[in-house]
A and B are shown apart, each in its own frame.
Chain A
Amino acid sequence: MKFGQLVIAGLVTGSIYAVFAVCVSVWYRVSNILNLAVGDFAMLGALGVDDLVRVRNWPLPAAIAVTLVTVAAFGYLYDRVVLHLAQDGRRVHEGIVITFFFTFALSFFIDGVAKVLFGTDVHAAPALWSGRSLSLLSGLHVERAGLLVLACAVICGSMFWLYIRYTLGGKAMEASGENALGARIVGIDTRRYRRIIFTGTAVLAAVFGIIESPITGYTYLSGATISLTGFIAAAYGGFRQPGRALVAGLVIGVTEALLGGYVSAEYGDTVLYAILAALVLAWPRGLGFEAAVGG
Chain B
Amino acid sequence: MKSFRPFTVILVVGVVVVVAFGQQYAGSVFVLALCYGIVTAGMAVQIGFSQQIVFSQCVFMAFGAYGVAMLNTHLGMASLVATPVVMVAAGLVALLLGAVVTRASGLALAVATLMLPLIATGYISSAGYLGGSVGAPLTGNLWPGSSTQSIAIGNGLVTVVILGLVVLAASRILSSDVGLELYVLGVDEPTAAAMGVRTPRRRLELFVLGSVFAALGGAVYAGTQLFVPATLASPTAELALLMMLFVGGRRSVLGAVAGAVAIQYLSGASNWVSVNILIVEGVLLTAILLIDPDGLAGITRSLATRLRPRSAVAPPTPSVSSAPPALFTPSALPSPHEEDRVLLECDEVSKEYGGLTVLDDVTLTLPPRGLFGLCGPNGAGKSTLLGIIGGSVPAARGRILLDGEDVTRLPPQQRFGLGVSRTFQAVHLIGGRTVLDNVAVACLTSHRSGLVTRLFRSELAAARQRAAQTLDRLGMTALSGRDVSSLTLESQRMVELARAVAPGPRLLLLDEPASGLSDAERRRLGELLTELAGLTCVLLVEHDLDLVAQISQRIFVLAGGRLVFDGGPADFRTSPVVNSLLVGL
Contacts and interface: CB of A to CB of B under 8 A. Distances in A.
Asked whether A and B interact, the reply is yes
Contact of A273 (B101, B105, B122): B122
A137 interface: no
Contacts of B114: 228, 232
Contact of B290 (A86, A115, A277, A287): A86
B432 to A, nearest CB: 12
Interface string B109-133: 0011111101100110010000000
A1 interface: no
A112 B281 CA distance: 9
Contacts of A110: 282
Contacts of B276: 112, 115-116
Contacts of A129: none
Chain B facing A: main interface SS: helix
Contacts of A266: 126
B341 interface: no
A284 B286 contact: no
Interface residues of A, number: 43
A182 to B, nearest CB: 16
Interface in A252-272: 266-267, 269-270
Interface string B33-51: 0000000000000000001
Given A97-B53, A105-B281, A281 B103 contact: yes
B200 to A, nearest CB: 13
A60 to B, nearest CB: 29
B107 A109 contact: no
B149 interface: no
A112 B290 contact: no
A267 B293 contact: no
Interface in B74-106: 100-101, 103-106
B279 A270 contact: no
B293 A239 contact: no
B332 interface: no
B344 to A, nearest CB: 30
Interface in A210-240: 221, 224, 228, 232, 235, 239
Contacts of B286: 82, 102, 105-106, 109
A277 B278 contact: no
Contact of A270 (B104, B122, B243): B122
Which of B53, B108, B281, B293 has the most chain A CB within a 10 Å cutoff? Answer: B108
Contacts of B402: none
Contacts of B243: 104, 108
B111 A289 contact: yes
B401 interface: no
A52 interface: no
A287 B276 CA distance: 40
Interface of A: 82, 85-86, 93, 96-98, 101-102, 104-113, 115-116, 221, 224, 228, 232, 235, 239, 266-267, 269-270, 273-274, 276-277, 280-281, 284, 287, 289-290, 292-293
Q: Return the 5 tightest CB-CB contacts between A and B, nearest first.
A: A109-B282, A112-B278, A112-B279, A108-B282, A105-B285
11 contacts: A101-B246, A105-B289, A108-B279, A109-B278, A115-B278, A224-B236, A270-B122, A273-B118, A281-B101, A281-B103, A290-B106
